[in-house]
A and B are shown apart, each in its own frame.
Chain A
Amino acid sequence: MTIVPELEARQLSVDYGAGQQALVALDTIDLVVNPGNFLAILGPSGCGKTTLLNIFAGLVSPSRGDALFRGRRILAPSAERSMVFQRHALLPWLNVIDNVAFPLKLRGEDKRSRLNAVRPLLIQVGLAEFADKPVWTLSGGMQQRVGLARALAADPAVLLLDEPLGALDAITREDLQRVLLDLWASSAKTAVLITHDIEEAVFLATHLVVLSPRPGRAVARFELPFSRRVAAGEEPRAVRAEADFTAIKAELRAIMDTHGSSGRLRAAAS
């Protein structure tokens, strides 16, 4: 029996502009994300990773090749593939619980049933006592918890994470990585995270792809055990301190240096 991949990119390319000024943002990407996996797409800014995520969301169409969800071409956005953004994505005129329940409102559920439905989610992300607070009064970390809970409230098959922790300070960021990992593990959903933070990618992902800067090409692929182990109950700090963990981080650092913008600058100078 073969597994139908949740998400797939086949020979996928994206150009920006046309003719002489045409810029290749993504160059023949092949990717497969199986159900329940956590894929991290790691790359420097300008490598087209946001574009790739937007294609999976159905917000952008590829120039060539195909993007598939459960074997069918992705043509438009859908609640099957909910996206979490770095900022500005919440509705500031609503309080916390109404923001989280927003996807259910879109489906026409009545107020009482949608509020009841999302209370467990609020507890899970640690926002139960902030349910009635306007979201604009919350800190950045709290707002991202709201964003994660809201994406899950849509009950998607895939969570698309567009650097959701990118604007947070280091400590809040580590807290939220744990929250994110728990949500992913307990919901058994598929997740795709784009990030430029090596540590975050290694900690959270079961699979990892490194993209080179313009044009974005997949230059390395890894399978990683750490997130499943933490999900199974191991102490995150101990896992982060392991030799394997730090070795992979160093290897990724080296890969990113050879392909990164600094590497290119060196090549151009010589």
Chain B
Amino acid sequence: MTTELFVIEHGLPDRVAEEEPKRRIRIPRPLLFLGGSAIFWLGVWWALAVAQVVPPLFLPTPAAVFARFITATVSGYADATLLEHAGASLFRVLSALAVAWVVAVPLGIGMGVSPAIRGIFDPVIEAYRPVPPLAYLPLVIIWFGIGEEAKILLIFLAIVPAIALSTASGVRSVPLERINAARTLGATRWQVLAHVILPNALPEILVGTRIGLAVGWSTLVAAELVAAQRGLGFMIWTASNFLVTDVVLVGILSIAAIAFVMEFTMRWLERRLTPWKDKQ
């Protein structure tokens, strides 16, 4: 019965809904699911921790983690506040992203336009892309040391394939008619590139950037494994060495929260900048 009523309520046009005087304020369904899921998993976590199925040393309660979140924010952990750790990590991911953009977008355009450039770079990128950054971290350390540059380099290497390959595919997806029409309207090859191919590839460049950001965050912990003084990854490693599980959880949740916010910012940007995408 209830299911049927529910279906009818959502299936009829708005006009009918307006005639209903006691209309509830509706929370968007995705938000409802998100909230529901958060509450459910927090509940599971809390139940497991309180029942002590796992010793508190390994699984502190949500309340204990929240308390640790406050102290880490206010007085810090491992010689820096949570904000300072997050700032250091953000700086690394974002500078790696910036450098990756400067390198990968032109590279992707080159790969999309020229079979020769594609022939040279595509095998290299495709070969190292699936290798986990942890596997080539030793090589980065041997070659570039343990400074800030090496950390950024590791994240950079992880981001480049995502952006370069998306850009190349965006460039190759330009309809031939669009290019030919521009040429018969007087466009030179450079004008075709600037006014047709590049804007056309923008949606996929943005998708590549979003994927690159996610990859960057997942590489962060590996990058901060060696000789870091700050950063969320460093904080997690330090805490795990002393079995301070609540700090480990604070670190993980902080990374998740920042990555989540960035993911949604990127999606919002995509909708704002390229509303024509998929509308052809």
A binding-site residues for B, Cβ under 8 Å: 54, 57-59, 77-79, 81-93, 102-103, 105-107, 134, 136, 147, 150-151, 154, 160
Contacts and interface: CB of A to CB of B under 8 A. Distances in A.
B13 interface: no
B191 A106 contact: yes
A85 B181 contact: yes
A36 to B, nearest CB: 20
Nearest to A135: B276
Given A106-B186, A136-B280, A151-B185, A91 B196 contact: yes
B280 A93 contact: no
Interface string B126-164: 000000000000000000000000000000000000000
B28 interface: no
12 contacts: A57-B184, A58-B184, A78-B184, A82-B185, A85-B180, A86-B177, A88-B280, A92-B280, A93-B202, A106-B195, A151-B185, A154-B184
Contacts of A136: 275-276, 279-280
Contacts of A54: 180
B183 interface: yes
B186 A134 contact: no
B195 A83 contact: no
B186 A93 contact: no
A105 B276 CA distance: 21
B239 interface: no
Contacts of A150: 185
B187 A160 contact: no
A82 B276 contact: no
Contact of B180 (A57, A105, A147): A57
Given A93-B199, A106-B191, A79 B184 contact: yes
A134 B184 contact: no
A83 to B, nearest CB: 4
A128 B180 CA distance: 26
Interface in B110-139: none
Interface in B170-193: 175, 177-178, 180-188, 191
Contacts of B229: none
Nearest to A160: B184
